[in-house]
A and B are shown apart, each in its own frame.
Chain A
Amino acid sequence: MNVFRNASWKRLVVTIVVLVAFGLFPLVFGEYQGELMAKFLVFGILALSLDLIWGYTGVINFSQATFFGLGAYGAALTLKHLTVPGATYLAILIAVCLPMFLAVVMGYLLIYGKVGGVYFAIVTVAVGTIFYSLSIVWISFTGGLNGFYGFPPLKLGIPSVFELTLGKANVLNYYYVILVASACVYLLARRVIRSPFGRALQAVRANASRAEFVGYDVAGMKVIALTLSAGIAGLSGVLYLPVGVVSPEILGLLFSTNVLVWVAVGGRGTLIGPFVGALVVGYLQTFLSDVLVSVWLLIVGVFFVFVVLFWPDGIVGFVRQKVYPALSRRLHQVTERKPDSVKPQVPV
């Protein structure tokens, strides 16, 4: 029991258990479940990217899916038009840089222009709508409403020496690549949040004016956070190529709404929350689609209202504030209790 008192030990054990569980998952449950889980992990990365700006700087973005979609379209178009060995790396580069460029433009136009809070949110709705409409009307370039098809799969490795193909059929290949990417993005986000820059971001969220008085360049920090978030969203867009269809839907307002729900349900301002939200909501959606496909959006609406009114910190917040303290109290009671003085059990 003493081992469990030590927080870092506990964390290490939990991390190993989680990693092993995810590693064995497709081997135990089969390729279909592996495909589904890979998709939810991609969504988890996307949700984490939104959480970085929403949860940690308080800037709400209704067009996070636009960054994601730009990444996916950018990578797919690169793969189609550039058929040289190693094109995958250029595709990833473009997929990450294109949304970052949009974020810099948005940040320069809006955040430096003091367009903040709800105004920023409305403008992001418009940005999403613009790209959605563009992807529909520019049929020769994007394939229009049918989506974009006929591009070669991603290939990782060294060309003509060893290559790992991430086609739609290579479930195990892309599952592990996505799993490793999720872990890397998580660690990167943790590194950023725990850096002095990350601390300053949280100061901005808590009180922007005070942070400004202390001497931080609040607007500049928000732009950097937005750009970083856009880059991660673009990366998740590339990873989406093997698991989904590149169509205008992934740029639209409805998909951005889904991203907001994942973060809100999982827990804002936590790094694990977005993944929890994407998995829980994703599985719920898959499960409910078999039963009642027509009410899914209604349930999403109820989620929003519910989270805002009763559960502002999401699942992770709830576990941390309510379940975890209760559990550790129990645990300590058990270990510290002397054998002969049994206290009456208090009903919880």
Chain B
Amino acid sequence: MDLLIVTTLNAISISTIIILISLGLAVIFGLRGIVNLAHTEFFMLGAYVVVVSDNIGLPVFWAGLALSPIVVGAIGWGIERSLIRFLYERPIEALLGTWGVSLILREGVKLTLGPQQRYTMQPFSGSVAILGVEYPIYRFFIIFVTLLVISGMIYLFLRTDFGLRTRAVISNREMASAVGISTSVIDQTIFALGAGLAGFAGAMMSPVVAVNPNMGLEYFTQTFFAVIIGGVNNIFGVLAGGTIIGSGQAYLSAAFRPVVAQILVLLLAILVVRLRPQGVIGRPS
């Protein structure tokens, strides 16, 4: 029973983080049909923003957390302007180019900041009891904040003017352009926003994982499968995809060795992609 509660909390925590990373990836995929293989590196960069701001003596964790979406968003914007925008018409080439960016970011961090594991201080220690089980406060904090940010993004996407324009571009780029929406500005903003969100997720996770240049790769397949399982034309698809992958990971990890759990999650994901190539939420085309 205790194991079930802890596992469920883990499932929520992993799922929300995966959703937070995947949102930007999914929307840019919906907008331009390209998959940015460097996306999980933004997650890694976000964690390093906390590490670096820790080192230069900023008020420890909170400064890093606040800075991470801005810094990583700016990096994302720079990459969109210098490389990605030339690849929008060539989705297969974009895979290669962004995979190159991914290698460059990973190895660049390894060269400048070192390949070793880094740890940052948890802002709160201690745990609270819920239904008779002790669970760390900081984990609750992660769940709370990520849910808040995800709700904010859903609001932005469905209820604001910017969201409306973005959805217009997704559904018909030429028509949106004809009625005066600057599609290029939407692309750039969404790309930077998505990178910033992934960076923020990395900063949130930095106290509970070992920060290292390869940490983005650990979330690589989960993130991309969350997007393609969910389907790209609907923001709720990402929520569903992230929940399936995150919960699968958490529950299977409770029953099997982590590596075996990972293999099973991937097999499950491949099966879902095979059965519903349009995504679990999307309509058959």
> What string of 1s and 0s marks CB contacts (under 8 Å) between B91-105 and chain A?
111111101111110
A133 touches B263 (CB 8 A): yes
Nearest-CB residue, chain A, relative to B276: A113
Q: Select B92's contact among A109, A117, A137, A294, beta carbons within 8 Å.
A: A117
User: Does A1 belong to the interface (CB within 8 Å)?
Assistant: no
Interface size on B, residues (CB 8 A): 41
Residue A235 lies at the interface, judged by CB distance under 8 Å to chain B: no
Verify A301–B103 contact, CB threshold 8 A: yes
B270 at the interface (CB under 8 A from A): yes
Q: How far is the CA of A123 from the CA of B274 in the complex (A)?
A: 10
Decide yes or no whether B17 CB sits under 8 A from chain A: no
A156 within 8 Å of B by Cβ?
no
Residues of A within 8 A of B99 (CB): 257, 260, 301, 304
Contact B277 A301 (CB under 8 A): no
Task: Report whether over half of chain B's contact residues are helix, strand or loop; otherwise say mixed.
Answer: helix
Q: CB distance B225 to A308 under 8 Å?
A: no
Contact present for A125 and B221 (CB under 8 Å) = yes
Known interface pairs A130-B267, A297-B106, A301-B101. Does A123 touch B259 (Cβ–Cβ under 8 Å)? no
CB contacts under 8 Å to A, within B119-170, are none
Is there an interface contact between B111 and A298, defined as CB atoms closer than 8 Å?
A: yes
Asked whether A133 and B259 contact (CB < 8 A) given A118-B34, A122-B35, A297-B106, the answer is yes
B273: A residues at CB distance < 8 A: 110, 113, 115, 119, 123
How many angstroms from the CA of A295 to the CA of B94 in the assembled complex? Answer: 23
Given contacts A113-B274, A119-B273, A136-B259, whether A126 and B100 have CB atoms under 8 Å apart is: no
Name the B residues within 8 Å of A304 (CB-CB). 96-97, 99-101, 103
B260 touches A302 (CB 8 A): no
State whether B263 touches A130 (Cβ < 8 A).
yes
Chain B, residue nearest A125 (CB): B221
How many residues from A make CB contacts under 8 Å with B?
Answer: 40
Give the shortest distance, in Å, between A259 (CB) and chain B (any CB): 12
Given A58-B92, A137-B257, A304-B97, are A126 and B269 also a contact pair (CB < 8 Å)? yes
Complex formed: what's the CA distance from A297 to B34 in Å?
24
For B104, the chain A residues whose CB sits under 8 A away are: 298, 301-302, 305
Give the shortest distance, in Å, between A55 (CB) and chain B (any CB): 12
User: Would A129 and B83 be within 8 Å (CB), given that A137-B257, A295-B107 are in contact?
Assistant: no
From A125, A136, A257, name the one whose CB has the most chain B CB atoms within 10 angstroms. Answer: A125
Q: Residues on A close to B: CB < 8 A?
A: 58, 60, 109-110, 113-115, 117-119, 121-123, 125-127, 129-130, 133-134, 136-137, 257, 260, 264, 294-295, 297-298, 300-309, 312
